Amino acid sequence: MAMFLALDANKIIATIELLKQRIEQRFPGAELGAVAGDLLAVARDAEAEAVSLTQPNRVIQIAVGFLAAAFLSLIVIALINILAPTNTEATNILQTLDAVANLVVLAGALLIFLVTLQRRLGRHKALKALNQLRSLVHVIDMHQLTKDPSLVLGHEHDTAASPKRDMTPFELGRYLDYCSEMLSLTGKVAALYAQDLDNPVVVEAVNDIEMLATNLSRKIWQKIMILQALGPESHSSSAAAVHT
């Protein structure tokens, strides 16, 4: 049962690969297929990066260990100096204690910096990748902006500046559905970064991307519903979806 409690990056990648093939077979040469290829490449990178972000950084671990050892060594040396029989002057003892106190503050600050460094580096990499996914969401949305169901069904007249519309109602329904699927899968790829990286900033960024993708997908489905309501031919698109 535990196997269903986490996203499987391999299955997400396989789903995107299949979607890319479906787009290329249905719309050969369409730019939407290239966008699906970009999403596939990003998903493959996310699979490796999401795992690496949770792995301990050996360099940082060695630096923390070295600093801790050096700190303890200096403390021991300072205590030996304070407790030495020849050290009877109160001034020397106070100066040593002051030096030890400063050392504790400095070493503590360095330790905190190093311990949190990997977390901050992981957050930076994750946010950079998530920003790329956010841009990809907007690119997908751009490909469906001019896909107006009423115009494709011939309910309006084109102007000289109108975009080229050569899809049948059925093809338009499939195109819009592909865009909606890509938006959903983009959100799933983003979720890979928050699945194992317990960082509130990253989680919030992932939630923002998923919400953006959901809102844009809702707009697409409004077009699909209009298409199904206006054209009897488009009603067959839903039944054919399971075969394409």
Q: What is the pLDDT of residue 124?
A: 82
Q: What is the pLDDT of residue 242?
A: 40
pLDDT at residue 235 is higher than 60: no
User: Which of 25-29, 53-57, 152-156, 206-210 is predicted with the least confidence, judged by mean pLDDT?
Assistant: 152-156
* Alpha-carbon dihedral 169, 174, 179, 184, rounded to 10 degrees: 130
Smallest CA-to-CA distance from 179 within 211, 147, 135 is with 147
What confidence tens digit (pLDDT) does each residue in 53-106 have?
766 667 767 777 777 777 777 777 666 766 665 555 656 666 666 766 777 777
Q: What is the pLDDT of residue 7?
A: 84
Q: What is the pLDDT of residue 241?
A: 43
101 lies in a domain?
no
62 lies in a domain?
no
Q: Cα dist. 161→146, 165, 168 in Å?
A: 12, 12, 20
> ∠ CA(136), CA(137), CA(142), 5° rounding?
95
Q: Are the CB atoms for 221 and 180 separated by under 8 Å?
A: yes
Average pLDDT across the chain, whole number: 79
The number of beta carbons lying within 10 Å of the beta carbon of residue 119 is 13
Distance CA 136, CA 122 (A): 21
The number of beta carbons lying within 10 Å of the beta carbon of residue 4 is 7
- Domain range for 39: 2-55+122-243
88 lies in a domain?
no
pTM of the model: 0.71
> ∠ CA(205), CA(189), CA(16), 5° rounding?
150
pLDDT at residue 238 is higher than 60: no
pLDDT at residue 231 is higher than 80: no
pLDDT at residue 23 is higher than 80: yes
3-class SS at 132? helix
Distance CA 233, CA 149 (A): 12
pLDDT at residue 121 is higher than 90: no
Q: What is the pLDDT of residue 187?
A: 93
72 lies in a domain?
no
Question: CATH number, domain at 144?
Answer: 1.20.1050
93 lies in a domain?
no
Q: Are the CB atoms for 78 and 99 separated by under 8 Å?
A: yes
Smallest CA-to-CA distance from 137 within 50, 53, 205, 226 is with 205
Two structure tokens written together for 155: 């309910």
Q: Cα dist. 52→10, 124, 146, 196 in Å?
A: 16, 13, 40, 10
61 lies in a domain?
no
How many domains is the chain built from?
Answer: 1
Which carries the bigger pLDDT value, residue 167 or residue 176? 176
Q: What is the pLDDT of residue 135?
A: 94
Q: What is the pLDDT of residue 236?
A: 46
70 lies in a domain?
no
> How deeply is 11 buried, as exposed, middle or buried, from its count of CB atoms within 10 A (0-12, 13-18, 19+)?
exposed
135 lies in a domain?
yes
